[in-house]
Structure 1
Amino acid sequence: MEKPINKNSAELSSYISKILRDHFGKGPESVHVSLGKTFIIVYIRNFLTPTEKVLMNQKQDESVQQTRGLVMQTLIPEIKAYIKIVTGMEIREFYYDWSLQNKSAMFTGISTDSTSTDFPITEEFTGKAELINEMIYLSSESEKKPEEIYACRVNQRTILVIRNGILVRIEKQLIRQGMQEQLKLAKRTLEKGLLHNNNHFEGILDTKVIDIFVDWDFDLDKSVIVFVVNPTK
């Protein structure tokens, strides 16, 4: 059975729901915060404004992505500061992704400090070796084989995969030329297509996969992927 939400998680959930409502004009239906060692993962459900819905109906998904990205540049420092106040975690890396079709979203923070209350993660879980092999294969299809790869189960519904060393030379050159946003949009389309069209994950993890999110830190040559799964199968 999954642990009950603790005070820190509940406080962060309430804060993130409010800050999204304040800046987008509409808040999400729910915000689930998972704390585990040096990780904080926020899963946001039913989050799509009426304006965004109109744009998506007109096949303007990229415009929604770009606008949300601009807003997030303002929100990220505020969110990191609030996490520090509540948990004591100094967030060094912050990742986010949207699943517009599912009206869901993911924020992931990585800290060098553990949470103020220790939440153990599961280093070994069903299908871990097979999942890593599948991620190596998919990375090779879209970029290159990762130099390092790490996977853990933060809780019953959340699996985190971290890849280091995945950028190829042409991508690094595009980044040097200031084309980070264009590259991220292209990579998001390509990689998410490969992830969502993969029919092996549910068999590997022995459970239903509800959502998959991916983001990159180009400066660190690093990527995070978050699987949200059905905790009860």
Structure 2
Amino acid sequence: METEQIQKELASYIGKLLRDNFGRGPETVFVSVKQPFITVYLRKFLSPMEKVLMSEKQESFVQSSRDILMKSLIPEIKAYMKLLTACEIEEFYYDWNLQNQSGMFVAICPESAKLDQLATLDYPGKQEVHEEINNVSQQAQKVPEEVVSIKLNERTIVVIRTGIFVTIEREFIRMGQTEVLRTAKRRVEKRLLHNSTRMESILDAKIDDSFTAWDFERDKSVILFIINPNQKGSNVLDK
């Protein structure tokens, strides 16, 4: 099956799956397949009940209820991705931007050679992106042991951080307190990313959305930037 057809099939399947389980599906689903990555960007995805909860400042309740639902949906999504791409999904990340009514999934296949090849590809501002990611990470916990970023297409940049947890975070993980840790890190890291005005200048593009998620067992994190090159960032670097 051609890549474009796979992307359409996945978008249709995920839209229906979310609609069946959340009561309302996303208005649009954008899927990008570029081995070893499958990325999914969801827009206008907030059910009527969730809108009420958000208006009552119950964002944490919406997050936790979605986390519960996703535990049952992730195996189904991974199985369908494997069916279409013949790729066993090794890692799966998701995150929501409830204020923007958006969300993302990032699936990674165990294709280390392809990942290494993509990681060597350059794009404008790549080194500066890594520096800013290190800066944000240091404010939240510590500088990652490794940062890899890939520009999958004109609108999608994936950043992978490994070796990011400090001693107290690793102790929370050993104690099984990952949900508490996830909630705290969501608030801190996403706030720092949102406040990072330098990133748009580096990329010379508007950042429409940013997401971050973690794999606590692997001591790893994925950040996804959805950018709009037609709306340029403030060119602070040239000043």
Q: Would you say same fold, with TM above 0.5?
A: yes
RMSD: 1.5
Contact 1:36 1:121 in 2 (8 A): no
* Runs of 4+ deviating beyond 4 Å: none
Partner of residue 117, structure 1: none
Distance in structure 2 (CA, Å) of the matches to 1:76 and 1:122: 30
* 2:188 equivalent in structure 1: 190
Amino acid at match of 1:226: L
- Residues 122 and 30 of structure 1: CA distance in aligned 2, closer, same or farther (over 3 Å): farther
**Corresponding residue for residue 40 of structure 1:** 38
**Aligned mates of 1:48, 1:189 — CA distance in 2:** 19
Which residue is 2:153 aligned to? Answer: 155
**Equivalent AA in structure 1 for residue 29 of structure 2:** V
Name the CA distance, whole Å, in 2 between partners of 1:123 and 1:33: 21
Residue 112 (structure 2) pairs with residue 130 (structure 1)? no
Matches within 5 A, 1:89-104: 89-104=87-102
For 1:102 and 1:122, how far apart are their aligned partners in 2?
32
Distance 1:98 1:35, change over 3 A: same
Equivalent residues of 1:122, 1:155 under 8 A apart? no
Match of residue 203 from structure 2: 205
Task: Find the counterpart in structure 2 of residue 59 from structure 1.
Answer: 57
**Following TM superposition, by how much is the alpha carbon of 1:5 offset from its aligned partner in structure 2, in angstroms?**
7.1
2: CA distance, partners of 1:226 / 1:219: 20
CA distance in 2, matches of 1:172, 1:20: 33
TM-score, with structure 2 as normaliser: 0.91
User: Quick check: 2:119–2:148 contact (8 Å CA) kept in 1?
Assistant: no
Preserved CA contact (<8 Å) 2:119 2:149: no
- 1:178 paired residue number: 176
2:235 matched residue in structure 1: none
Structure 1: unaligned runs, 5 residues or longer = 115-119
Distance 1:231 1:47 in 2: 24
Following superposition, the deviation at residue 231 of structure 1 comes to: 4.0
Corresponding residue of 1:19: 17
Alignment partner, residue 8 of structure 1:
6
**2 CA distance for matches of 1:122 and 1:21?**
38
| Aligned length in residues | 225
Q: 1:49 aligns to what?
A: 47
Residues in 1 aligned to 2:66 and 2:121: alpha-carbon distance in whole angstroms: 33
In 1, Cα distance between equivalents of 2:175 and 2:82? 34
